[in-house]
A and B are shown apart, each in its own frame.
Chain A
């Protein structure tokens, strides 16, 4: 199985379905045969993929895998500071993009060569079948700090669960895309479609949720995988949502709570509802379709999936066949027995276990990881802030909302400073890290840094 690229796998696995529609975008749709005929002349290079148009993004991935030494797809919604941070973690030669120069300053400053994705059809035809590398895929994560790291995968580890199903001679599944395709969960949806001959209906997070939901209904989407926060938004579209003829609902990226599972069951009585636990580092861990929050304790003996599970010191450990190879900085993921410490805290209640938070105190806000200590340190640089406590408050609509309790320096004007802090927050933080609720208190208690303490607990 060595040296087989994404392109080769598609040809081999769905040879009878190549004339089927693979990708349905707002402006253009492509057949599988359109995708596998893409050549690449970027052999041996280390390439950043920075493409806003989803259809072009998919074309680029198929063209590059197996030809380039490494590819690092990054979301074009990434803010500048985070982009600089990600690119500093490895060496890159070039960027393939559909954006114009004003959005590419960071790449220019690193002396990367630019390739416009529109020119890809002009790439070296002679090298069409010259795909001999196991390209490294760098996938951004935000596992242990609020700043994402690059995790090293190869196509076969990223696509492990999609490759497990048998070769397909027919498909009736239509998948709707909600995840960002540069994230681990997004790759699962993409590869599952490409390698099993399913059509993928794409949309982007630039679009309003009502548009995305109507677009899925219009294209008779049968399968959607999304975070609990995204599912709540989908449900909030009301009548539009139930027009989607869903057969399969998948939830991942955050813990799925019982009220949400019940609501999905009520609105989509014919759909199978599955919630999963996966991470960029460990790959796909566990999944269950019984409609109950948490996971069965019997999974500790047999998870019926690709992962072995262990709970040690109230923490979840996984051993999987689809895990990454390591971080881009060479730090190991696994212990000597092959176990990955997920850093997720577990509570056992009856016959189930529940993921209740991160050991590091990291808060999951709508699938994005927020490091409260990072937010706290930055708020402390405000001239009139004395003490800060950051925590997540549970909320029925988004799951979690970030709260800052703030004690001002003596003699600071409460009303005036509250306004100034709100401006400060918008200026200093990207959207996910912004505390949305700011309480000015006379006195607050602050626990030791970074540990899950009184002030970092998730409050209900």
Chain B
């Protein structure tokens, strides 16, 4: 059965109380956040708390605003002409859109991994060492240790330890993606944003990335955008469902997939959307 969107229901869907965390430590707090590209408003009054050291998945149909939203968390949208943000996104209580925010340091704290792996045209080693070198790390031994630690954390060390000085492009797609994760980890971020990190990978490589996400959440707050609802169900602790630029429902992942409150969420997760 295919259903269409009930706009009246859609407009009245969100109960703001449902998106605040109770008894949980919020790493990222979003309040009344709007985002526009020129005259087109793509995010409307987003309110949600993202818990520390958990995986939060953002799901929703194409064009729902989930990618714009995740890019807002480390201000990647700043570089787009005419882009405008309103409202606040706070990390550890500090608004990242305030005038005194150092965007470069923000992006060090909030790492990002993209859909298509984008290693630098350098060796495996230099891909990891690039960020720390820019940050002033010169000591060879320290760099060696950091490269090893980052690759271990990204579950890639065993596969590349004997070929660290080969080109990163010699790696498979899945390995390149884990290299990008290792590169993001090398600058010791607190938050890891992942925009469709496994959508270009085969099932085995996807499983490896998902297992890695499970391991990483012990140390990092992870936000993942995925078109793949099953992936959201598998890897995340909490899930936010976006539609047409609005946050429709945000809850424990098992609630979203077993017993969502909103009919629109139910229609989406059951594939009834029309």
* Chains A and B belong together in one complex: no
Q: CB within 8 Å of A: which residues of B?
A: none
